[in-house]
Structure formats: C-alpha cells, structure tokens
Amino acid sequence: MTNRKPKKFTAFLWHRRIGLFALVLIIILSVTGIMLNHTEQFKLDETYVNNSWLLGWYGIEPEDEPIAYRVGDHIISSWHDQLFFDNIVITDLEQNIHGAIAGEQFIVVALDDEIILLSFEGEFIERVSTSISFSDIQRLGTKYNRPVIETSEPLYFIADEHILDWDIIANEDIDWIEKYSLTEDEYEKLLVAYRGNGLKLERVILDLHSGRIFGSYGIYVMDAAAVAMLWLSLSGLWVWGSRRNKMRRKKHYQKHHRN
C-alpha cells in the first residue's frame, strides 16, 4: 500500500479558481461599461425601472398602504410620512392621520395632536397644535358643518368657524368621517406621485458598474474584481513562463540523454 502525498495548491490551481470567482464580476463590469459608453444609443437616461423589489432596495417603494379620505371631489391621503392632495405632495408628516373634512373656510386634516389647514385648492395654510388643549385625537367628524374631534379620554370638541377655539360637546348627532378605499386607478396614480417615474436605468447600470448597488461595501467587491483581473494577468504570465521553462528543460534533458 502506497502513501499518497496531498496535492499542493499550485499557482495554476489558484489562477483557475480565482478566475472562476471573478468571472461574474468581470462580465458585469464589461457589459455595464459598454452600456454606459453608449448611454444615448441605449436611451438609459430616458428609460425608467419600476421593479418593486429594486425600488424597495433603493427605498423608493412604500412598505405600508395609503390612508385616504374623500373630501368633496378631492382625496386627502397619507402615505409613508407624506400628505397628498389628490396626487400632489403637500407636506411631510410625523404623525398619523385621523381624518379630513371640508370646513366652512378650509379643508381640515386631523393628526395625533395637531390640525393641518389646507385651502380648497390644496394649498398648505398652517399647522395648529392641539396638544395643550386636549389629548390625542382619535377621529374627526362634523356637526353643524364644523369640525368635531374625539380625543382618547374620550371627550368631544367642536371648532369655531375659524378653527381657532374648541368647545366641549356631547357625543350626539356627530357625523364621523370614514376612510376612503382608493380605486385601482387612484392607487396607481398616487403610487406614481409617491415614487415619481421610478429609477432611471442609467443610475441602476452606473451603480451596478461601480458596485454601489450591493450596498456600502459594494465598491470593494468591484475593487476586488479589478485586483483579481490584475492578479490573473500576472499569474497567467507566471504560469506561462513556468511551463515554457519546464518544456525547455524537458527538451534539453531528452536531447542529451537519448540512448
């Protein structure tokens, strides 16, 4: 029985293994480089990507669902910390929305502890804090065509016509506002308003070429591919030179040791 010695990892084996490892990255670098060199021909700056997974990776695709209220012919929506008037962004939100109604002079939007006033054309007017007057708002309604708020205690307050003063009232004959279910067409229009047209294909290809699409360490992945290409070139020359010298020695040996 013979003892076999373990095989040594030669430069040739490392050259092959690193080559296989770097192959995918080198293909990505090559293809994306060609595309970026011909941006106008491929219309990369005019084409948009709307893939949900990719938009989510870039933080453009919302994870939650919009909350909407119908106000006359308009829709007031809250989606991912933004307030929309129909399909137009009005302002950023840091609180939950609890209702929207048309008052005598303004559109009234109720949040946790503040009121947002909008014009009937959707222009932002002001924010009115209610945290000093009463506790968290639970829902919004109307009575005598004036806004009514239910708080967490629960207590019920009705606003004056200028939405400046609030008086406590009994919970009687209040028309509470219900959430509005968006149609598929309204949802799609709101989604376009939220994320725009999507991502430009040029940006995706550029981030893929640089490695930034893989995250904060992505550029180092592509740097590793560049280093691998350099190592493959040098090791390839070394392997070629070693084999050539080996063949020369073999021929020299055969020439001087023939029978």
Phi/psi for 90 (5° steps) reads: -95, -50
Under a CB-based contact definition with an 8 Å cutoff, are residues 141 and 99 in contact?
yes
Lowest-pLDDT choice from 89-98, 184-193, 233-242: 233-242
Triad 50, 52, 54: Cα angle to 5°: 80
Residue range 75-123, pLDDT digits in tens: 999 998 899 999 899 999 989 999 999 988 889 999 998 999 999 999 9
pTM of the shown model: 0.61
Give the sheet arrangement for strand 107-110, strand by strand: 99-102, 107-110, 114-118, 124-129
Residue 85, helix vs strand vs coil:
strand
Kind plus residue range of the DSSP H or E element containing 159: strand 156-159
Lowest-pLDDT choice from 7-11, 41-45, 88-92, 193-197: 7-11
Inform me whether the pLDDT recorded for 132 exceeds 60.
Answer: no
Residues 6 or more apart from 50 whose CB is under 8 A from it? 197, 198, 199
For residue 140, how many other CB atoms are within 10 A of its CB? 23
pLDDT for 250: 61
Residues 6 or more apart from 149 whose CB is under 8 A from it? 110, 130, 134, 137, 139, 140, 141, 156, 157, 159, 166
Residue range 43-75, pLDDT digits in tens: 888 788 877 777 777 777 777 889 999 999 999
pLDDT for 7: 47
Mean pLDDT of the chain: 81
pLDDT for 1: 46
